[in-house]
Amino acid sequence: MAKPKRLGDKRYMIVYDVTPRNGRARQQKREILRGITKQEAEAILANRIAAFRKDEDIVDYGMTMAELFDRFMSVKKKRLEATTIDRYGSLIATYLRPELGAIGLASLRKTHLIEAYDNWQNRTRRPSGRTIRHAHDLLRGMLNWAMSLDYVASNVAGKVTAEDLPKAPKPESKVLNEHELRQLLSETRTPSRRALCRGTLSSQPWFFPAVAFAAYTGARRGEVLAVKWSDLDLTDATVSIRESLSEPKSGLAFKAPKNGKARTIVIASELTEILRTHRARQVEERLCLGQAYNDRNLVFARPDGTPVTPWNFGAAFKDLVARAKVTPITLHDLRDTHASLLAKAGVPIEVISQRLGHSSIGITVDRYLTVYRDRDAAAAAAFGRIVA
């Protein structure tokens, strides 16, 4: 049986048979492995030989990390959402490829990763700890994929511990109290004269109903903008969240909600009245435009019926918050506000979790732990009265 040939300190050459891509004939492949032990070289060689015997179409076992990135993305583009591919591509281009791309896959070691993560933190535009951890998670996933194809014998990213990575404290969510939320909705309902003159998004008929919908349901930004009239039952006061509007580089796209599952929730009578009034006004717009109206059955659409760009919705909301003079929050924080006020009202965590569309109660508890502080303080005071 073939054995690795030692070329120097932790440097070996292995020789094995491969099948060319054209499948015409077998040939031998020589590969130089650096920074590994003899046992590791033997394991890699055994994997190469086993792959050939299984007649797998794996040719370039001497690939670099850059080539692995390209192969991984080529496969995943066919299976993942466009927004996910954009995020992966950004992490690879900004962080992984510059630091690790030239390294041979078989030669990659934990020290390479630690050095890369340190170098990222020394950049002028230093990434956050969460960003570095996201890049590490992506790398670990790619190496697991490489292992499944016998490109590599082990996943060195799995050897990186939490202590090796920068800390990534979870940002504490910002929420509005009852008074601030009422103030925000009041400001949204009556856009300023300046906004009306300029025709800004916050002055368009869909804006107030959309903000109210987000506040009353806790729906995500993309879910709000993807709701269709067919998803609403204003008689039974329910709405089904079936899709989400995303904004990948390729353009606006409708996709499944974040956890891939549709959900139906009850909506308050106040919201149903807002939506009825909005529907009547939207019908007027459609009649005025006639054939020029792009009817996609969207509840919250631009005056001509086309979808609202999620980023623009978020930017308009930010301007609204500043005008309303409430706690500075983002549109996503309105989702946190919904959860916070429900928790404060004593609504069970499992009900809140279902309304938010979380895949498990654990996610809700972990994400919105801070919103239970008022109730926790009340519990502590109650226990104090009991034992006093």
Domain ends where: 136, 169, 202? 169
Domain ends where: 112, 142, 169? 169
pLDDT for the residue 59: 43
More confident site: 298 or 149: 298
- β-partners of residue 265 are 239
Angle, CA of 249, 255 and 256, to the nearest 5° = 145
Residues 35 and 68 in one domain: no
Quickly state the pLDDT bin for 170 (edges 50, 70, 90): confident
Highest mean pLDDT among 28-32, 304-308, 366-370: 304-308
Q: Which is nearest to 274 in space by CA: 337, 213, 224?
A: 213
Residues 288 and 340 in one domain: yes
**What is the percent of the chain where pLDDT is above 70?**
90
Question: Is residue 45 within 8 Å of 4, Cβ to Cβ?
Answer: yes
pLDDT for the residue 22: 44
- β-partners of residue 263 are 241
Give the number of C-alpha atoms closer than 13 A to the C-alpha of residue 309, restricted to the C-beta side.
8
Q: What radius of gyration do the chain's Cα atoms show? A: 28
Q: Tell me if 55 is assigned to some domain.
A: no
Q: Tell me if 72 is assigned to some domain.
A: yes
Residues 38 and 86 in one domain: no
Residues 73 and 162 in one domain: yes
Residue 197 pLDDT > 80? no
For tokens 């987000």, the residue is 214
Residues 226 and 345 in one domain: yes
pLDDT for the residue 57: 45
- Please provide the average confidence, as pLDDT, over all residues in the chain: 87
DSSP code at position 49? H
Residue 359 CA to residue 79 CA, distance in Å, equals 21
Question: Is residue 225 within 8 Å of 207, Cβ to Cβ?
Answer: no
- Other beta carbons less than 10 A from residue 382's beta carbon: 9
Residues 196 and 275 in one domain: yes
Phi and psi angles of residue 254, each rounded to the nearest 5 degrees, phi first: -95, 135
Element (H, E) at 265: strand 263-266
CATH code for position 158: 1.10.150.130
Q: Which is nearest to 57 in space by CA: 23, 10, 82?
A: 23
Across residues 296-303, what is the average pLDDT?
A: 95
For tokens 């002028």, the residue is 124
Say which amino acid occupies 74. Answer: S
Across residues 177-200, what is the average pLDDT?
A: 87
Q: Tell me if 385 is assigned to some domain.
A: no
Element (H, E) at 34: strand 27-34
Residues 40 and 80 in one domain: no
Question: Is residue 43 within 8 Å of 69, Cβ to Cβ?
Answer: no
Residues 141 and 118 in one domain: yes
Token pair listed for 376: 């926790």
Task: Tell if the pTM clears 0.75, that is, is over it.
Answer: no
Q: Strands 253-255, 244-246: parallel, antiparallel or unpaired by DSSP?
A: antiparallel
Residue 86 pLDDT > 90? yes
Across residues 203-217, what is the average pLDDT?
A: 95
Domain ends where: 169, 203, 238? 169
DSSP code at position 23? -
pLDDT for the residue 54: 58
pLDDT for the residue 240: 96
CATH code for position 334: 1.10.443.10
Across residues 248-263, what is the average pLDDT?
A: 87
Q: Tell me if 388 is assigned to some domain.
A: no
Lowest mean pLDDT among 115-124, 214-223, 270-279, 368-377: 368-377
Residue 35 CA to residue 9 CA, distance in Å, equals 8
Quickly state the pLDDT bin for 101 (edges 50, 70, 90): very high
DSSP code at position 96? I
**What is the arrangement of strands in the sheet containing 5-8, beginning at the earlier edge strand?**
5-8, 11-18, 27-34
Q: Which is nearest to 244 in space by CA: 218, 270, 229, 262?
A: 262
Quickly state the pLDDT bin for 301 (edges 50, 70, 90): very high
Question: Is residue 124 within 8 Å of 164, Cβ to Cβ?
Answer: no
Domains held by the chain: number = 3
Residues 35 and 95 in one domain: no
Residues 165 and 196 in one domain: no
- Other beta carbons less than 10 A from residue 104's beta carbon: 19
Q: Tell me if 265 is assigned to some domain.
A: yes
Q: Quote the domain boundaries for residue 85.
A: 63-169
Q: Tell me if 88 is assigned to some domain.
A: yes
Q: Which is nearest to 44 in space by CA: 6, 4, 104?
A: 4
Residues 144 and 28 in one domain: no
Residues 158 and 265 in one domain: no
12-59 pLDDT per residue, tens: 888 877 655 444 445 677 888 877 888 888 888 887 777 666 554 444
111-155 pLDDT per residue, tens: 999 999 999 998 888 899 999 999 999 999 999 999 888 788 889
Quickly state the pLDDT bin for 382 (edges 50, 70, 90): confident
Q: Tell me if 267 is assigned to some domain.
A: yes
Q: Tell me if 58 is assigned to some domain.
A: no
